[in-house]
Structure 1
Amino acid sequence: MDSMEVRCSANYHSTFWDIDSIRALLARSNCTAAAIVDFLHICGWLQALSHDHHKRLKETVQRRLQDITQPHHLLGLIDAVQRLGVAYRFEVEISDALDGLHSENTKHAIKDSLHHTSLYFRLLRQHGCNLSSDIFNKFKKEGGGFKASLCEDAMGLLSMYEAAHLGVKGEAILEEAQVFSTANLKILMERVERKLADRIEHALEIPLYWRASRPEARWYIDAYEKEDGRIDDLVDFAKLDFNMVQMVYQTELEELSMWWELLGLPEKMGFFRDRLMENYLLAIGMVVEPQYSQCRIAITKAIVLITVMDDFYDVHGLPDELKVFTDIVNRWDLEGIDQLPEYMKLYYLALYNTTNETAYIILKEKGFNATHYLKKLWAMQSNSYFREAQWFNSGYTPKFDEYLDNALVSVGVPLVLGLSYPMIQQQISKAEIDLIPEDLNLLRWASIIFRLYNDLATSKAEQQRGDVPKSIQCYMHETGSSEEVARNHIRDLISDAWKELNAECLKPTSLSKHYVGVAPNSARSGVLMYHHDFDGIADPRSRTNAHITSIFFEPVALKESINLG
């Protein structure tokens, strides 16, 4: 039989964002190299200190963070700065403020306020302070359960709900707080004013701590501007800064689109998901700060190449081809490449050259030869895909734990987080790099969350076209449960994994704060792309496209007095 007759086809939707469309949108945004240079002249990344208004607004916010002494007001300001996406501008001021707030005086000042107690708890936990959840005991009745008087405190309940998602395993009071706040917010949502109802609805859809920061910043700019207690200078600064960071992202898109066009894989290999923009959105979710441009470009390229590799292991590749390809990736050389079919040969050279280019950047910037390390990451990825292909071709359904141990690798998060380490961490440690990505719990829990969200969204379509059983099917096969029971079990595992990830983020570590943040950010990217069991990669229309447009191509409307045009 002709080998072409036994190849599968997934019939993926064609890309909505072809190279010509991306370039047309970039041109429409007036993103010329000359315009960008005006903003990128200090430390090689976005500071824009040449613009007087931006500088004045930034200094105004700095003074507020330094001068406010009332805990209630300072907590609210820090929360707004973080949600508006400009906290990276004030890391020292925020850290100093939170360190100063971590005191008995603050606890006393906010003791009767559920809203401020919850906000205090959440912000300090996010800051890495393992504040005791016993702080919520004062809101409980003597006989157990939360006080009935809290049921009408909409803002307090909303803050309690958000704080409860910072819990770790064994914190029963936070689990109770989540159930209590959720139930009462659903009732209050019908009775409070529209602005607050919108915030409650937004939170109940996805809690703040689980949301990718850039889409959240864009949403919150509009929400905060409607608040009666808003700080106008902060609103103006957030809008201006959003647009300036958007310009940085646009320069990255220019480079990525040129790279993708030069590779020419979509024209030569039409069977895979061509998803440059969606994969860049994932990268933005993982590494947000503008100064990590090179890292964001490198991991976008990696995610694009992971997507292609996934599709020829899952869909297009024949067993003998996959065996040869896996062996070549593990050897990481060009010998034997002629044994591969044309599409694999083309892909392998693209992978080999792109990865070596990344290794060169790391060597140039950090003085660390990452070639062997990056080879190890790609071998790990290829081996995990090959194991799944073997399971599928032999008709084998793995045990749930066996599936998950492999699937948390095949989902690609360990590779991306492993790649991010030498590009973000200032001091590269051999001890740490030996742990990454397989033996670091921080990355393991982030990978599990991403994988299980992915399975909830993709398993039905993948089973229909023919693919290895996912976590849902493995659990059903092992326990004899229904699909509904299996899906609920997976959701419970996701909730538990978040608690484990929260605990890891609170542990002392030599890893940089920004690198540690990539782990929960990766989990948040999984939420962004797959929540409500929707596959935002295979079928990126509507929701995913709306995020892409608002984050990369549509600037926030500015007041005439602060418009840079």
Structure 2
Amino acid sequence: MEELPEHVKWSYYAMVEACEEAEEDLAKEGRSSFVNYTRDQMKTLSKAYIQEVRWCHEKYVPTYYEYMKKIALVTSPYPHGIVASLLGMGEIASKEVFEWACQNPMPDIIKAASTIIRLMNDIGGHKFEQQRKHLASAVQCLMEKHGLLEEEANEKLKEEVEDAWKVINQAMLQPYVIPKPILTRILNLARSANVMYMGYDDGYTHVNQTLKDKVASVLAHPIPMKSFFFADDVL
């Protein structure tokens, strides 16, 4: 640990503290062992980040399929985020649900949500990221390894995003093996990508006023109850 950069140490200790706090809270429900699923996902995410760093320093540009299979979906980082979010969902997030969410290969709906956030991020952030030392994006992979022009690469990735939404829609319409609130949680995380990368602009890195207003409306400026009217008010 001592040889690690300070920012890495800070991230590590913050994650350890978060897991310990979650264990304390879930111990009251007899579910503290479920935190281990989040730890395992974090290990997988960390390994993928290390692979990103290696490729970046080696200036290695993978094929699009290698990029998506080995690191891109994991570092989206929805697989970890989804599993971590299940910790707060109570008894409906059973051991079977955690086992399902953590399986390899990942469930189709989690893969689809991860694809959406990853590709929207890559399209929106490609030009800015290539101005500095950075891992090749999906756009660059398609351009350098598959001979596509930038516009063609963007169009292909947008088609992939549309296909991923079809997978999510299908999962939400099929008979539920996994409880619907769990699937809805994943759906909502996918929806958040549309908020952050609306119009395929990188609103996560370069926060625009629209996104600021959305965050403020949730956290800083709640809608007062007097703004609502109920059926009894108009009868």
Shared topology, TM-score over 0.5? yes
Cα deviation, residue 383, structure 1: 0.9
1:385 to 25, 44, 49: 49
Q: Deviations over 1:324-369 (max 9, x none)?
A: xxxxxxxxxxxxx223233322332122111221232233235341
Check the 8 A contact 1:377/1:418 in 2, yes or no.
Answer: yes
Partner of 1:545: 212
1:441 to 91, 95, 108: 108
Partner of 2:84: 419
Aligned-partner residue type, residue 212 of structure 2 = N
Check the 8 A contact 1:363/1:370 in 2, yes or no.
Answer: no
Structure 1: state its 5+ residue gaps: 1-336
Partner of 2:21: 357
Check the 8 A contact 1:456/1:533 in 2, yes or no.
Answer: yes
2:63 to 399, 413, 428: 399
- C-alpha distance in 2, partners of 1:409/1:343? 21
Check the 8 A contact 1:425/1:515 in 2, yes or no.
Answer: no
Cα deviation, residue 443, structure 1: 0.8
- Higher mean C-alpha deviation, range 437-446 or range 460-469: 437-446
Equivalent runs, 1:148-187 vs 2, <5 Å: none
- C-alpha distance in 2, partners of 1:388/1:410? 9
Partner of 1:482: 149
Aligned-partner residue type, residue 421 of structure 1 = L
In structure 2, the CA distance between the partners of 1:485 and 1:359, relative to structure 1 (3 Å rule), is same
Q: Deviations over 1:378-431 (max 9, x none)?
A: 101111111111111111111111111221110111111111224325245444
Cα deviation, residue 468, structure 1: 0.7
Q: Does 1:507 align with 2:139?
A: no
SS state of the match for residue 39, structure 2? helix
Q: Deviations over 1:73-118 (max 9, x none)?
A: xxxxxxxxxxxxxxxxxxxxxxxxxxxxxxxxxxxxxxxxxxxxxx
In structure 2, the CA distance between the partners of 1:427 and 1:523, relative to structure 1 (3 Å rule), is closer
SS state of the match for residue 356, structure 1? helix
Partner of 2:201: 534
Cα deviation, residue 432, structure 1: 3.6
Calculate the TM-score normalised by the size of structure 2: 0.87
Give the number of equivalent residue pairs: 226
In structure 2, the CA distance between the partners of 1:427 and 1:531, relative to structure 1 (3 Å rule), is closer
Check the 8 A contact 2:25/2:32 in 1, yes or no.
Answer: no
Check the 8 A contact 2:120/2:197 in 1, yes or no.
Answer: yes
SS state of the match for residue 208, structure 2? coil
Partner of 2:6: 342
Partner of 1:497: 164
Partner of 2:129: 462
Partner of 2:233: none
Q: Larger Cα Rg: Structure 1 or Structure 2?
A: 1
Check the 8 A contact 1:501/1:520 in 2, yes or no.
Answer: yes
In structure 2, the CA distance between the partners of 1:555 and 1:510, relative to structure 1 (3 Å rule), is same
SS state of the match for residue 410, structure 1? coil
- C-alpha distance in 2, partners of 1:542/1:449? 23
- C-alpha distance in 2, partners of 1:390/1:350? 24
Aligned-partner residue type, residue 436 of structure 1 = A
Q: Deviations over 1:258-285 (max 9, x none)?
A: xxxxxxxxxxxxxxxxxxxxxxxxxxxx
Check the 8 A contact 2:117/2:190 in 1, yes or no.
Answer: yes
Partner of 1:372: 36
Check the 8 A contact 2:55/2:135 in 1, yes or no.
Answer: yes
Task: Please tell me the root mean square deviation across aligned C-alpha atoms, in Å.
Answer: 2.2
Aligned-partner residue type, residue 202 of structure 2 = D
In structure 2, the CA distance between the partners of 1:561 and 1:471, relative to structure 1 (3 Å rule), is closer
